[in-house]
Structure 1
Amino acid sequence: MTLLHPDARLIDAATGAELSGVPLREAVHAAVAGFAQLTPGVVFLRTPTTVEAIVRYLGAFEAGRPLALLDPGLPAETLADFVERFEPAAVCGPPLPPDAQPEGLKGYTRRDDEPWERGTELRERGTEPWERGTELWERDTPSSTVPHPELATLLATSGSTGDPKLVRLSRGAVLANTTSIIEALGISGEDVAVSSLPFYYSFGMSVLNTHFAAGATVVVEAGGLVARSFWPAVDRYQVTSLALVPSQYEMLRRLRFDPRRHPSLRTLTQAGGRLRTELVRDFHGRMASVGGRLFVMYGQTEAAPRLTTLPAGRLAEKLGSVGPAVPGGRLTVRLEDGTETTAPGVVGEVLYRGPNVMMGYAETAADLARGDERGGLLETGDLGHLDEEGYLFIDGRLKRFGKVFGVRLNLDDVERLAAATGPGAVAAVAGDDKVVVFVEGATVEQLATRVNELADRLKLHWSGFTMRGVPALPLLSNGKVDYRALESAR
């Protein structure tokens, strides 16, 4: 299987340029040829929301060249750390800021020639909208580490926070999850997706993979949901599906999203964290009113990245669930004594088995040579339970706990209860024998009332909790709550 179906289409919303059929294949083959001219090893692709970045990604996958998809906005010190530890053969992407070079790229030389010559020819013919200004830094001497032959994609585990680990995904894992999601969502050549998520984020990468492999269309619109150009592009190119994380659903609600204004849009998908039950019900109703669908999913980058999908037709009766395992996967719950069960209602750590599980993590270049260390088993670190049909309900994180007056509290439970006390997104972090809850857009008076209600629900004194109003929760580049920033502000 390949990610590039013959009927796949790629549209640049900014210019209206389209790549499909032979021109798209030629562009990808040009990228393949370009990678063949580079020093052997992993390539770091700083991945903006552009047609060029997608073509380079597809080219690397087709060429069997391991590629790390990175946030182009990574701080200079983080990028330098990654380069030092993982010794990439090349670093490619938009021009680096002055503070990122050359200090962060010692032992690398900027190439002023174009290794993708066929791409240059296509650009001159006007058949490929490659951007000018791409910068390529090539390693002067090859790394002593030879990447494992099955290694295909590397993704950072926490967006732009500089987490030291990269997830090692094999070609087989990426293709397995792509096939499963196409089946679970019923993606076909008639579908049109839009770039509502960064491509270096595993959910965004998955949208690319599934739509290209199904022979569908991807519209590249770099502005995001609040850009003036975004929704006109949705209508102009007849976008049928929109993939979003919880913070974006909060934003859509504030924007008073009405699917009747966008008649081509028939599918919403959600992953990247827990979506408040109120919003699940709300957006399910909005889409159902126009004959559309909402799919709630659960994923982790370590699973390339999706583990479950809740069928839209079962959402109302399974409210709160993230669905059964994707085709080819299996879920169990592990208890404290190490035993596993699929019995309904039993809470424990969620385990997933399937062909889409990562090979393992990488912290240094030497790790890139390692083979499969997981054997298809993913220990998710999430607490959850199954129902009688094998549908999964997530109950929290194993490590997301705080203490109030010596009582151990699941911070995800605190967030759910705090969200039920009033409007606005919430996030909870542990303090010194207390829990700090941040609430978007709440007044001082509202916070005073809500902290008492939260304490009552938990049957603890209100002084064990602090509620702080914030204009907006800090977010990582992938749209998830930046808990490290909140812990620093507590």
Structure 2
Amino acid sequence: MTLIGDGARLVDATTGRALEHDELVLQVTRVAEALSALPGGVLFARAGIDLTGILHYLAAFEGGRAVALLDPALSTGSVTELVERFRPGAVLTAPAAAPPPGYVAKDGHWVRQDPDGVLPHPDLALLLATSGSTGTPHLVKLSRRAVVANAHAIAEVLGIGPDEVAPTNLPPHYAYGTSVLNSHLARGATVVIEPSGLRERAFWEAVDRCGCTSLAAVPTHYEILRRNGFDPADHPRLRTLTQAGGRLRPELVAEFDAKMRAAGGGLYVMYGQTEAGPRMSTMPAELLARKPDSVGPAVPGGRFSIRHNDGSETTHPKISGEVVYRGPNVMMGYAEDEAGLALGDQLDGVLATGDLGYLDEDGFLFVTGRLKRMGTVYGNRISLDDLEQAVRTCAPEVGLVAAVPGDDRVVLFVEGLPGEACRSVSEALADRLHLHASGFDVRCTGTVPLLSSGKIDYQALTGEL
């Protein structure tokens, strides 16, 4: 099973270098040979939006080396802590600092001195960190079959073929970014490596110069696009927008759906988790106006059910509960340390998502909330996601909104909110939820911090409390 389909190519927009299919395969093969000489065990690859990181990933995958993709923004201390837990054969493109005990610096990598290590399970191909923006990351274990199956399932529902061109505005260490890369290369399409991000003119110049046909984005990106006056008509070849990484508020679904249809394209709302390699459903663009709150049916090969508190499951429409997904793209399990890498499949293709939702009569999924991401205000449990949406309703002119739990209260950081308006927003929330306004600490902020994936960095905000 390969991720490099016939005709697949990479274009480095920064240098102008294009790796056509044959050269791409040659480069991947050469890097794979170099990786095979490293000590046994998983490989860590600090994978940013650059050609080197992407080649490391593809070479490890094609060469049969299990690889964990790490955010290059992780501190040296965080990388060292992960190294101590998992004892990788090497850390590719390692931090500039001195390597931890048991490792030596060589050719820009940290290489383990001890040639013996725990060999990963032979099915294990890819590890991605998950914990969102909070907590110590777990490593999600994805088999080769899971990665390839999801790549082709997504390519099928989006109609990805050799003429498609996708930019890398999402980093490869983020599951959604990995999925964009996989689904395009597997079907012989082109991936454009452009690291500056969609706030920068250089990114959009590359989109137009390289003829990009699609753009993948998370909800915070759509907020930015709206504020910047994005118009798909300004980019003639851009005909597909996809959205995952959290719930997109209904106003933006309607707005971008209308914009894309007017330009002859479509918006595809998707639902996924890293644990599912990562995408589980896609809402067909042509049906979005009819079911704007749905994330669509399961991708080919997958299916949803709804689990009740007593453990029973149903597919009957309109019955709410925890969303359960079954499919070949479900992870093998989590790895907490080196020993966990050797374990085989622990889930048998069944993933309890931790999300709440229901199915309609057509089998389309509606996600209504999370079992987690809750706050407490004077003993009342409140969805933090719902609070963020409520602030946007009270003050539609604001930018990003981020809610984090405090001590029997919720703190809300709001972009673009005048300081004198904070009290009125607190009072509006209190009136809406029939609680005292002191339970809602609304703070104006210039910029809500984002992770490299484009998601809100809730951990950084928690550190400000």
For the criterion TM > 0.5, the same-fold answer is yes
Q: For residue 311 of structure 1, what is the amino acid of its counterpart?
A: P
Alignment of 1:89 with 2:64, yes or no, is no
Q: 3-state DSSP class of the match of 1:323?
A: coil
Among 105, 110, 129, which residue is 1:110 paired with? 105
Q: Work out whether residues 40 and 117 of structure 2, in 8 Å CA contact, stay in contact via their aligned partners in 1.
A: no
What TM-score results when the alignment is normalised by the length of structure 1? 0.91
Q: 3-state DSSP class of the match of 1:489?
A: coil
Q: Any stretches of 5+ residues in structure 1 without a counterpart? A: 113-134
Alignment of 1:42 with 2:15, yes or no, is no
What is the Cα deviation at residue 160 of structure 1?
Answer: 7.2
What is the Cα deviation at residue 374 of structure 1?
Answer: 0.6
Q: Work out whether residues 304 and 323 of structure 2, in 8 Å CA contact, stay in contact via their aligned partners in 1.
A: yes
What is the Cα deviation at residue 266 of structure 1?
Answer: 0.5
Alignment of 1:470 with 2:465, yes or no, is no
Q: For residue 281 of structure 1, what is the amino acid of its counterpart?
A: A
Q: Work out whether residues 71 and 160 of structure 1, in 8 Å CA contact, stay in contact via their aligned partners in 2.
A: no
Q: For residue 153 of structure 1, what is the amino acid of its counterpart?
A: L
Alignment of 1:263 with 2:262, yes or no, is no
Q: For residue 449 of structure 1, what is the amino acid of its counterpart?
A: S
Alignment of 1:156 with 2:158, yes or no, is no
Q: For residues 35-434 of structure 1, what are the structure 2 equivalents within 5 Å?
A: 35-93=35-93, 96-98=95-97, 101-102=98-99, 105-112=100-107, 135-158=108-131, 163-423=136-396, 424-434=399-409
What is the Cα deviation at residue 189 of structure 1?
Answer: 0.7
Looking at structure 1, the residues matched to 250 and 343 of structure 2 have their Cα atoms a distance apart, in angstroms, of 41
- Residue 456 of structure 1: aligned partner: 431
Looking at structure 2, the residues matched to 231 and 454 of structure 1 have their Cα atoms a distance apart, in angstroms, of 38
Looking at structure 2, the residues matched to 352 and 339 of structure 1 have their Cα atoms a distance apart, in angstroms, of 14
Q: For residue 267 of structure 2, what is the amino acid of its counterpart?
A: L
Among 422, 434, 450, which residue is 1:447 paired with? 422
What TM-score results when the alignment is normalised by the length of structure 2? 0.96
Q: For residue 213 of structure 1, what is the amino acid of its counterpart?
A: A
- Residue 33 of structure 1: aligned partner: 33
Identity of aligned residues (%): 55
Q: Work out whether residues 246 and 274 of structure 1, in 8 Å CA contact, stay in contact via their aligned partners in 2.
A: yes
Q: Deviations over 1:201-259 (max 9, x none)?
A: 11101111000001000011111112231111111110000111111111111211111
Q: Deviations over 1:49-71 (max 9, x none)?
A: 11222222111111111011111
Looking at structure 2, the residues matched to 21 and 401 of structure 1 have their Cα atoms a distance apart, in angstroms, of 47
Q: For residue 341 of structure 1, what is the amino acid of its counterpart?
A: T
Q: How many residues align?
A: 463
Q: Any stretches of 5+ residues in structure 2 without a counterpart? A: none
Q: For residues 6-21 of structure 1, what are the structure 2 equivalents within 5 Å?
A: 6-21=6-21
Aligned Cα RMSD in Å?
1.6
Q: Work out whether residues 159 and 476 of structure 1, in 8 Å CA contact, stay in contact via their aligned partners in 2.
A: no
Q: Deviations over 1:241-283 (max 9, x none)?
A: 0111111111111211111111111111111111111111111
Q: For residues 471-490 of structure 1, what are the structure 2 equivalents within 5 Å?
A: 471-490=446-465
Q: 3-state DSSP class of the match of 2:207?
A: helix
Q: Deviations over 1:15-64 (max 9, x none)?
A: 21111132111111112211222212211111121122222211111111
Change (3 A) 1:402 1:158: closer
Q: Deviations over 1:154-179 (max 9, x none)?
A: 11103676724111110011011111
Q: Work out whether residues 74 and 160 of structure 1, in 8 Å CA contact, stay in contact via their aligned partners in 2.
A: no
What is the Cα deviation at residue 467 of structure 1?
Answer: 1.4
Structure 1 runs, 4 residues or longer, greater than 3 Å off:
158-162
Looking at structure 1, the residues matched to 141 and 231 of structure 2 have their Cα atoms a distance apart, in angstroms, of 39
What is the Cα deviation at residue 418 of structure 1?
Answer: 2.2
